[in-house]
Structures are given as C-alpha cells and as structure tokens.
Amino acid sequence: MTKNLFAQITGLGMCVPPKILTNADLEKMVDTSDEWITQRTGIKERHLVEGETLSDLSVIAAREALQDAGLKGEDLDLIIVSTTTPDMQFPSTSCLVQKELGAKKAACFDLAAACTGFIYGLSVANQFIISETYKNILLIGGEVLSSITDWQDRSTCVLFGDGAGAVILEPTREEKGIISVYLAADGNFADFLKVPAGGSRQPATIKTVQQRLHFLKMRGNETFKVAVRAMGEAAKEALSLAGLSSKDVDCLIPHQANIRIIKAAAKRLGLDEDKVFINVEKYGNMSSASSAVALYEAVKCGKVKQGSIVVMTAFGSGFTSGGCVIRW
C-alpha cells in the first residue's frame, strides 16, 4: 500500500531590515517608557524598514529558503505571501516576488489572515501538496507594519515591527512535516483590530487621512484576553487532530505579540517555559512574519531538532486563530 503524503518544510529563510528602533528611541517619540513596554509586552526593540518594501524583504527571505532547500526559483510551483501590508493593493506581492525569483511556472496569490496568516498558509500549502496538485511551494509570512502604524498612538506604536520569514514545502512519504492543522475565525470581533480606511468601504480621502483612519486601531486589552484563550485552544485542537497531547510537545512556537500572552497560553497547555520559543524582545509583533521568523530561529538555534514535535499557534485580526503540529 502506498504511504500517505506529508508536506515537509525543507528550507527556511528570514529577513529583517537593519534599522532598529529601541524602547529608548520610542521614549523620545511618545509618552512611554522602557519599563512600561518591557513589563507589559516583553519587547525591547523592533526592526523597521527605511525604504525597503515588503517584496524586498520577502525576496531576501525566499532566496535563503530556496538555497536551504537546494532549489531554484524556476523549480517553484506556487508562491503564497501571507500579509496585511502588501506593496500595493494589487498586483499581489507574491507576483512581485515571483518576478524577482524568476519563478516562471509558479502560480501566485496573497493570503489575508493577519497574524494567523502563516498558519493559514501552512494549511493551504499542505492541501496543495497532499492532493498532489503542487510539489514545490514557497510560503512567505511578511509585513511592513510600520506603514500602518500610528506613530502618535502610544498604545499601538510600541508593539510592532517589520520583517519576513519564508519556508519551502515539499512532499514526502515519511511521516514528518505537517501532521495536523486547525483553523478558526470569529468575525464578531472584526472591530477590535483593524485599519478602518483605504479599502472599498472607506476609500482614501483628505478627511480619512486627517482622521488618521489609515492606521491600525486596536482595542488592546480586550484583544489580549481573547488571544490567550484562542491561542491555547488552537494548539490543543491541533494536538488533538494529530492524536497527541501537551506531553508530546518538544517546542511550542507561539505568535510573538506579547510575552504575557505567550506565557499565559503556554500555562494553559501545561508547558514548561523551556519548551516555549520566544523572540518577541528582538522584533516585537511582526504579524504573519512573527511565526515564520520564530520557526526559523527555533530551528537554527537548535531548539527544534530532527524528530521534534513542534506546535505553532497564532491569533490575529478577524479574529482568526490557528494551530499546527509539525514533526521536524
């Protein structure tokens, strides 16, 4: 009997722009303090673009992932870019990335699931692979959140950063790679975290610009509470779909929005902190890039090894949430 197909991650790449904005820098911009930011979020610094675009960051991350996998652009069958901050409304950023990589035969689309986008993307890539539609898939989680950050709003501007992470997925008949994915959404919370204008509901006008409606707005405290619950639940659901429990987890890679959310979600899963990968202090919340970059760093630093059971869990605007179990 032929064994089942699995989607395995065979290449990893990442890119953050060189410019760093520290909490001390932010103290000079808004009424905040390093102490408040560190205690409430765990963030110490974040990387911001200085002219680089999302496609620039994505292409650098993608080239590293391709090299890691031993593939070339022309080997790709599909490119997915998960983002809420594309270079332009259209064409999709994935098409811009395709051009730079010379990935002539790849189909391309962008995916919008906010901070959960990388896990949604893993799910989509997994489906294309196990259905034998495509073989070599490039998935990028990337954001230039600084482009929608209101630098006068201290309640949000301290939280976010820019970056991109990329993975290559390929089929394998060994039981490794994506074991299960759980996705969820609840549009009743759509107002809690959004960019009000710039879409077809409220196109750009002088008034929308003056009212600062093109910037991200968040009801932080309420979002926090749902995030803790949803990230814990998504991880549990993914584990259950895989026929595993928290005891089997070698490394939890949660969305990096806030150290307190990460710790609370890990506690709900009954996981010791040494099993949780955290890098929020270096990058802040990079939305869909956070999970991709965290996975990259967890593998490269040796926290994720051959055979490790990895659980990714994320939460974002929508609200969306998702969990994924990977056997590395």
Based on the residue annotation, tell me whether 47 is a catalytic residue of this protein: no
* Count of residues interacting with ligand UT7 (CB under 6 A): 21
Shortest separation between residue 324's beta carbon and ligand UT7, angstroms: 17
The packing angle between helices 117-130 and 288-300, to 10°, is 70
> Please, which residue, 171 or 316, has the CB nearer to ligand UT7?
316
> Please, which residue, 227 or 242, has the CB nearer to ligand UT7?
227
> Please, which residue, 107 or 218, has the CB nearer to ligand UT7?
218
Residue 10 burial (CB count, 10 A): 18
Based on the residue annotation, tell me whether 214 is a catalytic residue of this protein: no
Two tokens, residue 328: 């590395």
Per residue, what are the HEC states of 21-52?
EEHHHHHCCCCCCHHHHHHHHCCCEEECCCCC
Two tokens, residue 310: 């990895």
**CB contact burial 240-265 (16+ within 10 A = b; e otherwise):** eebebebeebebbbbbbbbbebbbbb
Of the candidates 95, 115, 157, 251, the residue annotated as catalytic is 115
Based on the residue annotation, tell me whether 157 is a catalytic residue of this protein: no
Q: Which of 66, 129, 257, 326 binds ligand UT7 (CB under 6 A)?
A: 257
| Site for ligand UT7, residues 273 to 302, rule: CB under 6 A | 285
With a CB cutoff of 8 Å and minimum separation 6, the contacts of 37 are 23, 26, 43, 44, 158
Which residues lie across from 110 on neighbouring strands?
A: 81
| Residue number closest to ligand UT7, CB atom | 220
By CB under 6 A, residue 313 contacts ligand UT7: no
Two tokens, residue 141: 């989680």
Q: Which of 147, 155, 172, 308 binds ligand UT7 (CB under 6 A)?
A: 155
> Please, which residue, 53 or 320, has the CB nearer to ligand UT7?
320
Q: Which of 4, 210, 221, 306 binds ligand UT7 (CB under 6 A)?
A: 221
> Coil, strand or helix: which one is 19?
coil
The residues assigned a catalytic role are 115, 255, 285
Q: Which residues contact ligand UT7 (rule: CB under 6 A)? A: 32, 36-37, 40-41, 115, 154-155, 158, 193, 220-221, 223-224, 227, 257-258, 261, 285, 315-316
